[in-house]
Chain A
Amino acid sequence: MDWWRKIYVALKNADVRQIVYVPDAGHAELIDACIEDNDIISIPLTTEEEGVAVLAGAWLGGQRGALLMQSSGVGNCINMFGLMQTCRFPLAAFVTMRGQWQEFNPWQMPMGQGTELALSAMNVNVETADNPKDIFEKSAAVLHSAFVANQMTALLLHQRLMPKKTFGN
C-alpha cells in the first residue's frame, strides 16, 4: 500500500470528517482520495492558519478534522496554534517536509529547517516518519493523541518519502 493511503485509512478509522488543506504535491494523492470520499468534507484553504481555525470550529460542532500541509505552511499557523492551546482543542496535522532532503529550491530551506522548532515553540507534539512501514502506526498515534487525549500533534513526513522535485533543472 502506498504510504499516503495508510494515512487515508488511519483518517477513516479515526472518523475524520473534515480535511483542511493547502494543495501540496506530496499530499496530492491523499487530497484527491479525500475529495472523492463522500463522508469527508474537503476544504481547500487560502492559507494554512484558516485550516487551524476551521478545525476548532469543527470540534465545537462535534466533528473531527485534520490539517494537511507542507512545512512552509507551519509558519503561517503560528498564532492560530495559540487558539488550539488556549482552548485545548485537538489538532492533528500531517506535514510534508521541504528543505530537508534533496531539496533543489533554497527558498524552501528556512521554513523547512525551522518547522520542528516552530511547532515545538507552540507546544505542538512532533512525530516524524521517514519509513513507509511506520506511517500507518504513526498516523493512528497522532490521531489518537489529538482526539482521545486532546493534544496538538503533527506528523512530519520526511522528504525522503516524496519524489525528488525539480523545476526541470
Chain B
Amino acid sequence: MNLSSRARTYDLRRREVAKRISEVGGKKLLVVTGLGSTNWDFTAAGDRDLIFPMWGAMGGAVSVGLGLALAQPKNRVLVATGDGEMLMGLGSLATVAVQAPSNLTIIVFDNERYGETGMQLSATADEADIAAIATGCGIKSAVNINNDKELKKSLPKLFKIPGPSLWVIKVRAESLDFVLPPKDGAFLKDRFRRALLGDVGIL
C-alpha cells in the first residue's frame, strides 16, 4: 500500500472519537480546538461555552492551551487539533515540556492530510511522527493510538494521567460535512470567560 492511501484504511473515525473524548471529559473540561476539522468534530460532539474553537492562527492551538492551563491549574485543559496545525507549531511542544503543566492534555487527530485545503498529504503521511517529536521535546506521556482496540484500552485514562500528555490518534482520511461553531472571535472569547470566570469575565 502506498503512503497516500494508507490513512484511508484506518478504522478510527474522527467524529466518533471526538464524541467519545467529549463524553469522557465531561462538561467542565476546558477545550481549545485547532484550525480546522477538529473544530467541526468537537462542534458535532456538542458545542458549549467552554470550548474555544480557533478559526485561524494556525500553529497556535497548543500555545493557547498552555497559557490557559497555566492560568487555570485546578482545571483540566484539552487541546484537540490536527496533524497539519500541529506541524506548524512543533516548537510549542518544547515550550510545553519546559512548563510541564500537569493539567494539559493534547490530542492530535492525524489523518495525514490538510483537510481544509483539499486533502493534500502532510509530513505525517511520510516519516514524521508527532508523538516521537513530542517525546523528543520532553513530553513524558506521548503515544500513538493506531486503532480502536488501543483507543478502548487507553481512553478511560486520558484525563487521569498527569500531563502534559500528547496522544496522536490515527484517524481515517475522509471528507465530512461541516458542523460549524460560532465564528465571531470576540464572542467566542467572551462566552468562554463568562462561563469560566462569571460576569466579571466580560467586564
Which A residues are closer than 8 A to B by beta carbons?
A: 17-18, 20, 41, 43-47, 49-63, 65, 79-80, 82-83, 86-89
| Residues B67 and A65 in contact, CB atoms below 8 Å apart | yes
| Residues B71 and A83 in contact, CB atoms below 8 Å apart | no
| Residues B196 and A86 in contact, CB atoms below 8 Å apart | no
- Given contacts A60-B64, A60-B189, whether A50 and B71 have CB atoms under 8 Å apart is no
Which B residues are closer than 8 A to A by beta carbons?
A: 30, 32, 52, 54-61, 63-72, 89, 91-92, 94-95, 98-99, 185-186, 188-189, 192-193, 196-197, 201
| Residues B60 and A53 in contact, CB atoms below 8 Å apart | yes
CB neighbours (8 Å) of B63 from chain A are 49-54, 57
Q: Shortest distance in angstroms between A78's beta carbon and chain B's nearest beta carbon? A: 11
Q: Shortest distance in angstroms between A25's beta carbon and chain B's nearest beta carbon? A: 21
Number of A-B contacts (CB under 8 A): 118
| Residues B60 and A61 in contact, CB atoms below 8 Å apart | no
A56 to B95, CA, bound (A): 16
| Residues B54 and A83 in contact, CB atoms below 8 Å apart | yes
CB neighbours (8 Å) of A44 from chain B are 95, 98
| Residues A87 and B188 in contact, CB atoms below 8 Å apart | yes
| Residues A57 and B66 in contact, CB atoms below 8 Å apart | yes
CB neighbours (8 Å) of B55 from chain A are 86
Using CB atoms, name the residue of chain B closest to A44. Answer: B98
| Residues A62 and B56 in contact, CB atoms below 8 Å apart | no
A59 to B55, CA, bound (A): 18
Q: Shortest distance in angstroms between A93's beta carbon and chain B's nearest beta carbon? A: 15
| Residues A88 and B91 in contact, CB atoms below 8 Å apart | no
| Residues B56 and A53 in contact, CB atoms below 8 Å apart | no
| Residues A62 and B185 in contact, CB atoms below 8 Å apart | no
| Residues B60 and A83 in contact, CB atoms below 8 Å apart | yes
Q: Supply 12 further A-B pairs (C-beta < 8 A) apart from A18-B70, A20-B67.
A: A18-B67, A43-B66, A46-B94, A53-B67, A53-B92, A56-B64, A57-B66, A57-B70, A58-B67, A63-B67, A65-B67, A86-B186
Q: Shortest distance in angstroms between B133's beta carbon and chain A's nearest beta carbon? A: 12
| Residues B185 and A83 in contact, CB atoms below 8 Å apart | yes
A86 to B92, CA, bound (A): 22
A45 to B94, CA, bound (A): 8
Q: Which 3 pairs, one residue from A and one from B, show the smallest C-beta to C-beta distance?
A: A57-B67, A61-B71, A46-B91
